[in-house]
Amino acid sequence: MVSEVSRRLDGLPLAIELAAARVRVMSPTEVADRLDRGRLLRLGSRGALPHHQSLEATIDWSYRLLSEPEKALFARLSVFTGGFDLGGAHGVCGEPGDAEDDTLDLLAGLVDKSLVTVRSSGARSRYGVLETLRAFGRERLREAGADDAVGRAHARYFAALAGELGRALHGPDERAWVERTLPDYDNLRTAFERAVADRDVDTALALVTSVSELVHLRVGYEWARWAERALELVDGDHPLRVAAIGAAARGAWNRGEFAGARALAEGAGGVAPSRGTARIAYPGDVLADVALYEGDAATALRHYEAEVRRARAEGDPIRLVWTLYYVAVCRAVLRTPEQGMPAARESVEVAATTGNPTALSMAHYALGLVLKKSDPERARARIDEAAELAASVRNFWWHGIALMEAAATRAVHADPAAGAAALAVVLDHWDRVGDWTQQWLNLRYVVRLLVRLGADEDALVLHHALVAAGKPTPLDARRLDRVAAALGADVSAAAARRGSALTGPGAVALARARLAVWARVGSPGSASTLVGGG
């Protein structure tokens, strides 16, 4: 907490000195709380030198040198969290009737007077206000009775920006919009919290349904909790309710909470959201994906084939790529990849018409998946292309999916050492993301590799960890009998006990340790030195 207080005081020596004076009489947590309430700036000791008596007096001296329009802008800028760009400064804080250049002139004056910093420059400059100065600005805003009005203007601005973002993420300019809006993640959160506090259901739902792809695919699954909270505000029907349900359900699915995902998705009553909804926010898709990951690919296939027909009828190319991709995935899971080839090829053709990197990534992945058994080299090339496309727009989810499939393909069809190293990278990826649905799938791929390497005991332990977690396992009855016979009854029983007792993190730790060894050894011919280890 001490380091946190120092960080929030921007490393300013005088501010830290004043905070240290209070640490003598209260805990660092209490000091941080007083910072939140803007009180830290008044911590000067009466016996201190005049220029040390109050940091607020030092800031106030600079503030009083500002013109009235500069003072007004400075106070309003305190509403931003994590910085802002010129568009945000003007859209939230500009005077009615002023042009953006007028706001820029005032902003430049604040930069010249060191009250605003230029945080980055390049295609789109961003600005910031040091936390100590921002606390002072919030006080001025409250004194003027304008904090609520400016806070609501901030929420409206970012809801409108989110609407533009949601549309742009489906077009050829996806990368530019990701680079523009990701730095405003803290502002999006602040806008949502304001909407919830005001019980502004329209703004809250607009935010969660428009930013879901940005946040879900590039930051994490916090947005799904936002969607759940926004749904609590809905009294009756709302045009964005179904998309919000889909967003909440998708987050539960990613966290591996299939029962919760199913319950949320069923709340949509079978209704599909409107065209243009975020790819990940269709409740029906979540139900199909729960079925798919629980081993019922036939049910998922029926859903996605129907959705392909709907997407064609509605002339929605982004939705068509998504649904064709899933038809190919389901066919691969059903071990009829040749029947998924037409869908995969069409997905590539349709994606090319959109110019959308995420759509192109999905399409290349789909084609690679159905080529995996018949032409592993071409499959790996397609999947690697999918990974590069996803990475180009900072799409960690699709990047991770492509990395995982490429690793699994290498583990089966190429150098096992390279496959082991690649699967370990994927373990770390999903660990960082917190996606247990994909992590359990990755563990299945690890089991397959361990069997190929002859590390039967480790494979059996992870098999039982999957079974205990209620997840499908790659070891069917025939393979399980072969492994058990090779190990013997006592070793097999011990492996079953170990695996059944493993938590998810424990299974990941075991897999990571074994993959690290095999990444060094790599040759199936060396397996005899390691079988049964650990």
Q: Where are the domains of the chain?
A: 2-64, 68-266, 307-394, 415-534
- CB 397, CB 499: distance < 8 Å: no
Residue with tokens 């389901």: 330
pLDDT the model gives residue 26: 59
pLDDT of residue 23: 53
- pLDDT for res 14: 47
Of 325, 320, 518, give the one whose Cα is nearest residue 416: 518
Statement: residue 18 has pLDDT above 60 = no
pLDDT (tens digit per residue) in 226-244: 999 999 999 888 999 999 9
Q: Are 350 and 364 in contact (CB under 8 A)?
A: no
The conformation of residue 270, written as its DSSP 8-state character, comes to T
Of the pLDDT bands very low, low, confident and very high (cuts 50, 70, 90), residue 30 is: low
Mean pLDDT of 163-192: 96
At residue 345, does pLDDT exceed 80?
Answer: yes
Pure H helices in 255-336:
258-266, 283-293, 297-314, 317-333
35-80 pLDDT tens trace: 555 454 444 444 444 444 456 666 787 788 899 999 999 999 999 9
Strands of the 117-120 sheet, one edge to the other: 84-85, 126-128, 117-120
Gap between the Cα atoms of 26 and 330, Å rounded? 60
Rounded CA-CA distance 337/405 in Å is 15
Residue pair 522/420 in contact (Cβ under 8 Å)? The answer is: yes
Asked if 382 and 364 touch (Cβ cutoff 8 Å), the reply is yes
| pLDDT value of position 531 | 31
Answer whether 387's CB lies under 8 Å from 489's CB: no
Strand-pair partners of 168? none
Are 440 and 426 spatial neighbours (Cβ–Cβ below 8 Å)?
no
CA angle 199, 201, 203 (to 5 degrees): 105
Hey, which bits of 314-361 come out as E strands? none
Beta bridge partners of residue 152, listed in sequence order? none
Residues listed for the chain: 534
pLDDT at 34: 58
Identify the weakest region by mean pLDDT among 31-35, 93-97, 273-277, 324-328. 31-35
Average pLDDT score over the chain: 88
CA distance 398 to 292: 18
Query: Contact 141/151 with Cβ under 8 angstroms?
Result: no
Tens digit of each residue's pLDDT (9 = 90 or more) over 134-156: 999 999 999 999 999 999 999 99
Asked if residue 283 has pLDDT above 50, the reply is: yes
Residue 193: what pLDDT? 96
CB 415 within 8 A of CB 376: no
Say which amino acid occupies 138. R
pTM of the model: 0.82
Asked if 356 contacts 396 with a C-beta cutoff of 8 angstroms, the reply is no
